[in-house]
């Protein structure tokens, strides 16, 4: 649903208020900040790292960073946008530091073997796409496809960032995304002809 100008103004006012109170040192302000953005940032961390345990550690590190760097927030971007960017950077730093110890994600033969069967109830040409159907279809994607799709189309990361997160080339990220979308379309439409 689109955000109306009055909703945006109210959100900006809330952002300014919570930031000011955090800077003043009000104890409840950080708790409020966490309640408002904790799930969002945890989800970003989970989708980038692919690990709930790492995401839990990271979301704590991110909020501590927020506390330490709140003075640098100028209000030029929405608070949520600023926090999201900070979280993405923290997660990419984390992934980079782990890169050497972890197997890189590649498009493997196993991925291709794991291509899902078409969904039982196809997405009709004249109907809107149901979110739950999409989620179910995403869950059926091979892991490398799924992560590329989630990071790009859901989290809004650029291909070079996905490349860093997954340890793959930018071009490979693009290729995985295109294949993921094409596969989703096949699953949702319930018919062959992947493109």
Partner 1 sequence: MERHTSADPACARFAPLIHERVDGALGAGPQPDLDAHLASCAACRELLADLDAIRWTASEIPDFTPRPEVWASLSQRLASDLAARPRHFWSGTRVALAMAATLVVAVTASVWLLRSPAQAPVPQASAGSQEGAAAGVIQSNDDVVKDVDEHLRIADEHYVKAIAGLEQVVKSGEGSLDPALAATLQKNLGVIDQAITESREAIKTQPNSQLAQTSLFEALRQKVALLEDTVALINVMRKGDQAGAAKILGGLSKS
- Interacting residue ranges for partner 1, rule: CB under 8 A: 23, 25-28, 30-31, 34, 38-40, 42-43, 46, 52, 55-56, 59-60, 63-64, 67-68, 125, 128-131, 134-135, 138, 149-150, 152-154, 177-178, 181-182, 184-185, 188-189, 193, 195
CA dihedral of residues 37, 43, 46, 49 (deg, nearest 10): -80
Q: Which residues contact 117 (CB under 8 A, 6 or more apart)?
A: 187
* Residue 151 beta carbon to partner 1: minimum distance, rounded to whole angstroms: 11
* Residue 193 beta carbon to partner 1: minimum distance, rounded to whole angstroms: 4
- Closer residue to partner 1 in complex, CB, 91/188: 188
40 class by beta-carbon count within 10 Å (0-12 exposed, 13-18 middle, 19+ buried): middle
* Residue 41 beta carbon to partner 1: minimum distance, rounded to whole angstroms: 9
* Residue 100 beta carbon to partner 1: minimum distance, rounded to whole angstroms: 27
Q: Which has the closest alpha carbon to 61: 43, 77, 41?
A: 41
- Closer residue to partner 1 in complex, CB, 37/82: 37
- Closer residue to partner 1 in complex, CB, 150/166: 150
What is the Cα–Cα distance from 157 to 96, expressed in whole angstroms? 16
- Closer residue to partner 1 in complex, CB, 92/182: 182
Three-class secondary structure assignment of 88-118: HHHHHHHHHHHHHHCCCCCCCHHHHHCCCCC
* Residue 59 beta carbon to partner 1: minimum distance, rounded to whole angstroms: 6
């Amino acid at each position: 649903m689109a955000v109306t100008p009055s909703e945006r103004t109210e959100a900006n006012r809330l952002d300014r208020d919570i930031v000011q109170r955090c800077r003043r040192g009000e104890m409840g302000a950080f708790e409020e900040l966490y309640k408002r953005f904790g799930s969002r940032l945890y989800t970003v961390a989970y989708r980038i790292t692919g690990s709930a345990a790492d995401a839990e550690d990271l979301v704590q590190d991110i909020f501590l960073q927020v506390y330490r760097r709140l003075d640098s927030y100028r209000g030029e971007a929405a608070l949520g946008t600023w926090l999201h960017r900070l979280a993405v950077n923290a997660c990419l730093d984390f992934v980079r530091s782990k890169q050497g110890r972890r197997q890189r994600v590649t498009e493997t033969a196993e991925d291709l073997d794991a291509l899902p069967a078409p969904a039982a109830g196809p997405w009709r040409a004249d109907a809107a796409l149901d979110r739950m159907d999409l989620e179910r279809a995403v869950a059926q994607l091979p892991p490398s496809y799924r992560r590329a799709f989630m990071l790009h189309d859901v989290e809004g990361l650029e291909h070079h960032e996905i490349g860093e997160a997954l340890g793959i080339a930018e071009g490979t990220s693009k290729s995985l995304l295109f294949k993921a979308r094409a596969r989703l379309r096949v699953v949702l439409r319930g018919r062959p002809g992947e493109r």
